[in-house]
Amino acid sequence: MSSEGTRGRSRAYARLRGTARQFLMFGIVGGSGTLVNLAVSVLAKKFAGWSAGISEYDVFLNLLGTEYNIRWFNVFMAVAFLVANTWNYQLNRSWTFRGYSQRSWWRGFFPFLFTGIGAFLVSQVVATLLMNPSSPIALSPELFDDSTGLRTKFYWATAISIIVAMPVNFLVNKFWAFRKPKVRIVAAEGPE
């Protein structure tokens, strides 16, 4: 075995180990973001119920005269997503990807937000399927009967949908939102 081959494998192993470490850190940040997301979801649901008598199952908006609707749980999840996404961005920027050359806060935030929106859409689909009683993956109404906080279908649907979207969110963030800036080599010309 050549020393070049050994060095190549060592570099590949170091990159893999570095990516695994980043994934773990991203997961810790994501875990804290999940807690923020769930807390904001709970607060939004409770505030809407207390202040306006709105349930997560109530229709927020009908989709163009069809039988399909955006429900209040979708709105609660959107508010929670925006708060948690901002939380996660700042923690990932200052901890997970701190060694990377970084853009300004706003220039880095928008790719992160757009990446998050992709994951958010996945989580909305998953949550809608879990909440819809006619869905093949609907959460059991016998078990999740909304009688207590731990039996609230919306809370479980939110948590499950976040977990499903997390790996995709990490990969897109690593390779797009927090990618290293491209280095352009400019040849310096001497005086003629």
What is the per-residue pLDDT across 88-120, written as a single tens digit (0 to 9) for each? 999 988 988 887 777 788 888 888 898 888 889
Would you tell me how many other CB atoms lie within 10 Å of the CB of residue 105?
10
Segment 171-190 mean pLDDT:
69
Maximum distance among all alpha carbons in the chain?
Answer: 84
pLDDT the model gives residue 147:
93
Q: pTM for the full model? A: 0.77
Q: Residue 76 carries which side chain, given as an amino acid letter?
A: F
Strands (E), 41-103: 59-62, 69-71
pLDDT the model gives residue 182:
67
Percent of the chain with pLDDT over 70: 90
Segment 17-31 mean pLDDT:
87
**Inter-residue contact 165 to 84 (CB < 8 Å):** no
* pLDDT(52) > 90: yes
**Inter-residue contact 22 to 65 (CB < 8 Å):** no
Segment 20-25 mean pLDDT:
87
**Inter-residue contact 51 to 91 (CB < 8 Å):** no
pLDDT the model gives residue 155:
94
* pLDDT(51) > 80: yes
CA–CA gap between residue 55 and residue 48 (Å, rounded): 7
pLDDT the model gives residue 16:
87
Considering only 6-15, 90-99, 128-137, which range has the smallest mean pLDDT?
A: 6-15
Cα–Cα distance list, 76 to 25, 42, 45, 73 (Å) = 27, 8, 7, 5
* pLDDT(5) > 80: no
**Inter-residue contact 118 to 168 (CB < 8 Å):** yes
pLDDT the model gives residue 173:
72
Q: Residue 126 carries which side chain, given as an amino acid letter?
A: V
Give the pLDDT band of residue 124 (cuts 50, 70, 90).
Answer: very high
Per the model's pLDDT, the better-predicted residue between 167 and 129 turns out to be 129
